[in-house]
Structure 1
């Protein structure tokens, strides 16, 4: 029986997909796979038998990716599963920033005991007037699943949309509306756009990307929306820009001691993917990914190993080898099987930076001695007999 441990509550519609060969366990030490949402795994001792971790969401900052890779543990995420939920909140953020809806609602609450509130509202509403987004220029930085949906939706709302992503995937490019202007320099967005929204992963090159130097090149009164990661923005520089009026509004989905005290910031309590639909989509996708890996050795949407898919095994046996991306690994693997008188009917090898993955279908099963020799190859991280 294959065992799955949930570090957080995972939507029932996801765990219901587990076949009769699987069972849920409360003991992580005996788990073959782990499903997680927000729980931090950095200080956890990962069991030797753990094969995979699936994050029901896109961000994986709570998971030690290199530590998992070194142990031969494949980490998955669920890109795009929560894209619609985040997109809708970004659209709400655009409206909240362009029109003082929050101020108007607060005024109504403060004056709810006024019998003449309807008449007084007609006098006071000019204080909450704003502008329409139609015809304004929006810069979308990052055109992954969420960024592409935001770009398309805002284009349909009549905005002039600029999209920037030097690493845009073919799938994302195909999904973009023809009305979205794909530009090659982020400086164009800084200099020309009335609204800027961030949809990039947190990596060394994006950390603190919205800082004083970048803000100074932007239009006066620009609106910046951040539904990706709080530390993409230098918050000291943002607070200063809001105070001076250089930035009109900063909409962020990440409350912290600095953001909640910013004058002119609209701070949302990390609601981007907090919809029933997003949680269900992420749960289903995470369970499917982890089962396909455990059952078939296929890797889809891993963040620490390359993608590799050979479908269901139709051969006598299938072996999966997670290993370092170093010379002569394939030669050693195939040579070991040949020495064991095992013929390979099909195979694939994929690499991703430091790590690689080799999946082999065999005409006959390899014996225990041959499997041990594969495990003894220097650079082999995990050798697994799928069937």
Structure 2
């Protein structure tokens, strides 16, 4: 029986992917095999040694202490693309709101309450203060062309916009999904120079934190409109407020409210609505639970943010053992595995290994149940982080 701790409410359609005869899930559970989380901050949590994996029902993992978990061999999963459509639609709304001051217009119109038959004439006279440009014919700069960025770029083309995108890590899959009219820029400065609107779709890292700042804003068009539905830390709030005050930036729409941004002219703050649709929550929950189940039952890793992708297509040998080993990517480790198994007279029926930077992950199938002393010998190799047997 696998025990799963849920740190947030996880959609039932996701938990239904975990068979009740083999899984127990609850918010309060001792010695869990894995954790399912959405937004709860895990940085101050003390996780028991029983935890083998953490699955985030969403794309961002800033709430998870990834370096610490990696050192313990805990695999961290996320669900890229599961909420992409929800975020894409919010970006579209943000683009429109950055152009057409509908929120202010609505507040002004509500202020006409009580004026009765005068309202139509007053509305006609007052509407001129809420003029804003159309999207058609304008240039949208898309920074980051992953699942969400590519969808936004394609949608903007349908709206009649010119689109220039930038992504130094553009995948083949993402490239193939892009409308042929999307132009790919070689540098960020090219995007800044051409774009009337800029939308950001990159993770927050040491390299991207504060990327929208006084220096980058200088390279942008006067009157640029900026959309940030990705991560709050990507934008330097003090710098963008100064740019709005000077007229350099016409508008900021952000999904990350902060004290200095609230009630500021030219800023629209949303309360982190990116994935706040029932469809997105369901998609993320299903994807997270499927990935977690495949890892716990088969040792497979798909969509991990810290360990390499590795999928064994063959089933675990009946009566045998699948040995899953997280280890450091250093020379001579695999030969040590095979030596230990050979000395124990255990036949290897299959082995696959994959690396990701300084880390590696190995799946080895043997035709018998592995003895405890052999597991201890494997775990005792200096480069080995974690060893987990799965019995067929």
Given the alignment of the two structures, is residue 136 of structure 1 paired with residue 138 of structure 2, yes or no? yes
1-10 vs 370-379, which moves further: 370-379
Of 371, 381, 384 in structure 2, the residue corresponding to residue 380 of structure 1 is 384
Structure 1 stretches lacking a partner, 5+ long: none
Q: Secondary structure at the match of 1:319?
A: strand
TM-score, normalization by structure 2 = 0.96
Match of 2:336 in 1: 332
Of 247, 255, 258 in structure 1, the residue corresponding to residue 257 of structure 2 is 255
255-264 vs 194-203, which moves further: 255-264
Q: Secondary structure at the match of 2:204?
A: coil
Structure 2 stretches lacking a partner, 5+ long: none
Give the Å deviation of 1:261.
4.6
Q: Secondary structure at the match of 2:30?
A: helix
Structure 1 runs, 4 residues or longer, greater than 4 Å off: none
Match of 1:303 in 2: 305
2:164·2:185 contact (CA, 8 Å) conserved in 1? Answer: yes
Give the Å deviation of 1:288.
0.4
Q: Secondary structure at the match of 2:189?
A: helix
Match of 2:113 in 1: 112
Q: Secondary structure at the match of 1:386?
A: strand
1:25·1:31 contact (CA, 8 Å) conserved in 2? Answer: no
Give the Å deviation of 1:255.
0.2
Alignment of 1:74-85 (within 5 A): 74-85=75-86
2:3·2:29 contact (CA, 8 Å) conserved in 1? Answer: no
Q: Secondary structure at the match of 1:357?
A: strand
TM-score, normalization by structure 1 = 0.98
Q: Secondary structure at the match of 2:170?
A: coil
2:8·2:27 contact (CA, 8 Å) conserved in 1? Answer: no
Question: Take 2:370 and 2:136, find their aligned partners in 1: how far apart are those partners?
Answer: 65
CA shift digits 1:258-305 (9 cap, x unpaired): 221533111111101101001000000000011000000000000111
Match of 1:172 in 2: 174
**RMSD of aligned Cα (Å):** 1.1
247-256 vs 13-22, which moves further: 13-22
Give the Å deviation of 1:182.
1.4
Match of 1:5 in 2: 5
Of 327, 334, 354 in structure 2, the residue corresponding to residue 323 of structure 1 is 327
Question: Take 2:126 and 2:264, find their aligned partners in 1: how far apart are those partners?
Answer: 25
Q: Secondary structure at the match of 2:134?
A: coil
Give the Å deviation of 1:381.
1.3
Give the Å deviation of 1:25.
3.4
Question: Take 1:361 and 1:17, find their aligned partners in 2: how far apart are those partners?
Answer: 26
Q: Secondary structure at the match of 1:249?
A: strand
Summarize the Cα distance change of 1:299–1:318 in structure 2 as closer, same or farther, 3 Å threshold: same
Question: Take 2:382 and 2:306, find their aligned partners in 1: how far apart are those partners?
Answer: 20
Question: Take 1:3 and 1:375, find their aligned partners in 2: how far apart are those partners?
Answer: 23
Match of 1:66 in 2: 67
Question: Take 1:299 and 1:262, find their aligned partners in 2: how far apart are those partners?
Answer: 45
Question: Take 2:198 and 2:231, find their aligned partners in 1: how far apart are those partners?
Answer: 14
Give the Å deviation of 1:23.
1.1
